[in-house]
A and B are shown apart, each in its own frame.
Chain A
């Protein structure tokens, strides 16, 4: 009888553990992703640096894509406005890919992403003479994690002051 009771208690405890751990994992994932990704494009600000007040330095892309999102276009317009006000500053657009692709294709993809950003800056009046494009492919991730959130932070084009 006593044994039986112990057994029952153990079961209860086990069940409680299961519920708790399930909650914990669910919650963790939810806070990780929620508000930080839309589709698979990163929308968070953890890794973003600023060229000037209110001028974020980078834009993010969906897997295998080089299309600029609405948020990316807004960022690039802010960059263009800032560059027009600072005509002596030149920039390098560094294009990056996540680790889930072959090295050589990713080099090309990084170049394509940085060029998407370059084209947009040019339509807002920034001369191509002031812009250099540099692809790093998947060689310089900002987040070394092997998960969708980390990959979304790494699919980016970063505008860096060249002088």
Chain B
């Protein structure tokens, strides 16, 4: 579905202006950059056409709202109140009066316009450096009208990239497990939504227990655990066609699946006779390889972005700890040595860090450490939380959190949360039902 929607990007003016604004994303977001997102201007004919097709009164404002919301939730930007804007959207897009924008303390300005051309949605936008009184970037997109939300996300990504120097993460989706019902009989379904919570869809009906969905970094495939026919097995699901299949032919439970960075292999655990070992299956030739061979529990494997190493969870020392090995299973090294138990290691897409869950003295932490185990940093503490998943740019972690029940066992909930690598900007991601096991997709475009 996503694959088939083409978005034509046209660079209006070569971008090489010397940027004066730079947003430093390695520090905490104590001073988010004030910027103005002017509503995209739209002529009356275009407005009416889109109103008819999309049932949105002003698609220009709707798209700019998406941009504004994305930039705000990143924690790095502070979009200013539109009521304070002095210049009309159409004029601002032609030539901003920088002194007006300066007056309301905007350091950057986003303007643009929307047209209805040959049944298509054409959006152009410009990013301006207010203090330097310069255009920093100008792009135009043409796509089918239904794609309007993605246009908003792509604009957000372009602005984020131009101002921070790193790729954005807004044109992405989250796959997760939707949860309903009492704790003792939870109904779980696979669900997918845009990164900002829009377009929520259920992918399974809830007839069987499903757990731990993970995106293929190279395509719109998903791997997950299903209890179909009461046999816990790793499955592969094509979310465009809805077709699914069991991964491999194992005489027992397979679980904890993840894709290799090139998307060509699935790495997972297979449990037999009280031992769990790590295996891979090549999705092209179906060849299965055993990677670990130990009487302990070896699980939660995750590849380094270059595919050369694997981090995993093992209790071979007696308790759950994090290990790193070469991709053939050789050279196993324990890397977690702090107090407590460590689980769910996930290698950052930037390669430099491993995120994990830690259990210590009855509290659960989400943290990161370098790939040799040094520099452990705990980002958040709670009664129960686990299973971090990285944003594709390696700057944000999404995970799930469960509440403690009262003495009668009531009051249970499970929600998705995200936090910046800096430890700042912790926020709940709203879902229509309770939710767990989130996995972040790669960028859908560019």
List A residues at the B interface (Cβ < 8 Å). Answer: 64, 66, 99-105, 107-109, 111-112, 115-116, 119, 133-135, 139-147, 150
Contact = CB atoms under 8 A, between A and B. Distances in A.
B405 A146 contact: yes
Interface stretch (B130-138, B165-173, B269-277, B347-355): B269-277
21 contacts: A66-B274, A99-B384, A99-B402, A100-B359, A104-B343, A105-B297, A105-B299, A105-B300, A105-B313, A105-B343, A107-B255, A107-B271, A108-B255, A108-B271, A108-B297, A119-B274, A134-B230, A135-B232, A142-B184, A144-B405, A144-B412
B264 interface: no
B319 interface: yes
4 A-B pairs closest in CB distance: A144-B409, A115-B274, A102-B343, A144-B183
Contacts of B212: 103-104
B409 A139 contact: no
Interface string B400-440: 00101101111010000000000000000000000011000
A56 B410 CA distance: 28
Contacts of A105: 297, 299-300, 313, 315, 320, 343
Interface in B250-296: 252-253, 255-256, 269, 271, 273-276
A144 B407 CA distance: 9
A14 B271 CA distance: 58
Nearest to B297: A108
A118 B404 CA distance: 33
B197 interface: no
Nearest to B230: A134
Contacts of A102: 300, 313, 320, 343-344, 357, 359, 386-387
Interface residues of B, number: 48
Contacts of B310: none
B378 to A, nearest CB: 16
Nearest to B298: A108
A150 B409 contact: yes
B204 to A, nearest CB: 15
A127 B219 CA distance: 46
B182 interface: yes
Contact of A135 (B271, B402, B410, B412): B271
B209 interface: yes
Given A64-B319, A104-B212, A144 B182 contact: yes
Contacts of B407: 145, 147
Contacts of A142: 184
Most buried by B among A104, A111, A134: A104
Contacts of A140: 184-185
A101 B359 contact: yes
B256 A104 contact: yes
Contacts of B410: 144
Contacts of B211: 103, 107, 139
B186 interface: yes
B300 A104 contact: yes
Contacts of A134: 230, 232, 253
A108 B232 CA distance: 11
B252 A133 contact: yes
B233 to A, nearest CB: 12
Nearest to A142: B184
Contacts of A111: 252-253, 271, 274, 276
Given A116-B274, A144-B412, 4 more contacts: A102-B300, A102-B357, A103-B211, A139-B209
Contacts of B343: 101-102, 104-105
A103 B274 contact: no
A78 B407 CA distance: 34
Contacts of A147: 407
Contact of B256 (A107, A109, A143, A146): A107
A147 B405 CA distance: 9
Contact of B437 (A64, A103, A146): A103
